[in-house]
Amino acid sequence: MYSYFIRRFLLMIPTFIGITFLCFTVTRFVPGGPVEQAVLRYQQAMAMSGEGGGGTSGSDMEQGQISEEMMESLKAIYGFDKPFYEAYAIWLWRVLHFDLGTSDTYSRPVWDLIKEKFPISIIFGLSGFTLSYMICIPLGVWKAVKHGSGFDTGSSIMVFIAYSIPGWTAGVLLLMLLGGHAYLDIVPSGGKDSGFINETSKLAMFLQEGAQVSDIPETIRKEFPKLGDNQTINASHPAFKHVPAEKRFKLKTGNHSDLSFIGRTLDTMWHMILPVFCYVLGMFASSTVLMKNSLMENLGQDYVRTAFAKGLSERVVIFKHALRNSLIPIATGLGHMLSIILAGSYLIEKVFNINGFGLLGYDSLIARDYPVTLGILVIGSMLKLFGNIVSDFLYCLIDPRIRFS
């Protein structure tokens, strides 16, 4: 068994190289890449300044032209000066040293960007995933036990509806209906937390105490040169404890970080309701049906008849004997969880404007920010490949037939 896992790990290497090489090559040959975009920006800028200067039409053409030299240096900037296989080798070498390059649009290391956005996606995705398992497993079990009943038929209709609506489509619809655009205003229109909380907001009651910057003793203020006189600080600020008690007051407006812990939690949850609902919706149909079918199949097995023949009650037979077996396909899905979360998050994060991993990838594709695109590909494919191994490992844990052969 160990040799099997070692083999699996070794197989990851060629797979990884295959995926990245393919994608890297594609980025090299599709039109509209970063060099062309830079040329376009340059030409636009030239055209604008040309108009502003009122130059002749003859020289416009010349100004829009890019010299051979410039082209070469542009290509060098974006790493397009070498043949693609050589560029790939250089890129791969850097990746092996955990250097994913620098984003063209953010001018920051790709690695930092990903580290920053990743937790946001994980929180949303994991909540959606956990919640959907918490709903789908009991529902699937109950549907299998009550197969053919009114409950089973009724919930099947729900499953069909959920199956036919992609999560993000429902997101668009629900945002329109509930997000304050057209009908009701009960959920935020996007983002991961509140940017501004005004006095009328229900969250205002959870605002912390605060103080005027000008009330901070002079000696302490020197340590925080960035604070302006007209600003306020909240109770979490390190300078707050130096403000005399009588100068402190309860904040009336503020943003997410000015809220108390409970307030921040509520604010985050309030922002999570719709996106998480969409995640659940996306997984609802397949997970429920998988659970139901898996249990149904096991309930028809001979060993279930044996268990009944022992005199065990229906409850024990279903929940001890059949359920354990039918959870095998569900549990192995856990290994794919991360990559499923990420795959599902692109559109949902776009719809709800959640500044996470998915949105980063989406924007990088639109902007042809290839270092970010490839960085996300690296992380995504690593997660997928590890997920496969984790799935196999879970399979071994649950199913003795695999463990011992």
Partner 1 sequence: MANPLLQVKNLKTYFRTEAGVAKAVDGVDFEVMPGEVLGIVGESGSGKSVTSLSIMQLIPNPPGEIVDGNIIFEGTDLLAAYRQKDYDVIRKIRGNKISMIFQEPMTSLNPVFTIGDQVAESLVHHKGLNPKEARDHAVEMLELVGIPSARERINEYPHQFSGGMRQRVMIAMALSCDPSLLIADEPTTALDVTIQAQILELMLEVKAKTSNAAILLITHDMAVIAETCHRVVVMYCGRIQEIADVKTIFHSPQHPYTQGLLASLPKPGQKVRRLSTIEGIVPSLFNLPKGCSFCTRCNQKLDKCETVPPEMVETSPGHFVRCHLAKPMKSA
SS3 249: strand
Of 16 and 395, the one with the shorter C-beta distance to partner 1 is 395
SS3 24: helix
Q: Which stretch binds partner 1 (CB under 8 A): 104-112, 165-173, 181-189, 396-404?
A: 396-404
- Beta carbons of 228 and 213 less than 8 angstroms apart: yes
- Beta carbons of 121 and 358 less than 8 angstroms apart: yes
Q: Which stretch binds partner 1 (CB under 8 A): 188-196, 214-222, 278-286, 306-314?
A: 306-314
Q: Work out the burial of residue 14: count CB atoms within 10 Å of its CB; fewer than 13 is exposed, 13-18 middle, 19 or more buried.
A: exposed
Tell me the three-class secondary structure of 302-335, residue by residue.
HHHHHHHHCCCCHHHHHHHHHHHHHHHHHHHHHH
Give the residue, chosen from 49, 93, 324, 366, that forms a contact with partner 1 under the rule CB under 8 A.
324
Give the residue, chosen from 157, 245, 262, 309, that forms a contact with partner 1 under the rule CB under 8 A.
309
310 binds partner 1 (CB under 8 A): yes
318 binds partner 1 (CB under 8 A): no
Least distance in Å: CB of 149 to partner 1? 12
- Distance, CA of 346 to CA of 357 (rounded, Å): 8
400 binds partner 1 (CB under 8 A): yes
398 binds partner 1 (CB under 8 A): yes
289 binds partner 1 (CB under 8 A): no
Give the residue, chosen from 321, 350, 368, 384, that forms a contact with partner 1 under the rule CB under 8 A.
321
Distances from the Cα of 276 to the Cαs of 116, 127, 283, 355, in angstroms?
A: 20, 7, 11, 15
- Distance, CA of 355 to CA of 306 (rounded, Å): 54
Give the residue, chosen from 2, 29, 196, 404, that forms a contact with partner 1 under the rule CB under 8 A.
404
Least distance in Å: CB of 1 to partner 1? 14
**E strand segments, 213-273:** 232-234, 249-250
Q: Which stretch binds partner 1 (CB under 8 A): 152-160, 235-243, 309-317, 340-348?
A: 309-317
Q: Which amino acid is at 250?
A: K
Least distance in Å: CB of 139 to partner 1? 23
Of 181 and 401, the one with the shorter C-beta distance to partner 1 is 401
Q: Which of 216, 210, 255, 260 is nearest to 235 (CA)?
A: 210
Give the residue, chosen from 308, 386, 393, 395, that forms a contact with partner 1 under the rule CB under 8 A.
308
Of 25 and 301, the one with the shorter C-beta distance to partner 1 is 301
Least distance in Å: CB of 310 to partner 1? 4
Least distance in Å: CB of 311 to partner 1? 4
- Distance, CA of 167 to CA of 162 (rounded, Å): 8
Residue ranges binding partner 1 (CB under 8 A): 301-303, 305-313, 321, 324-325, 398-401, 404-405
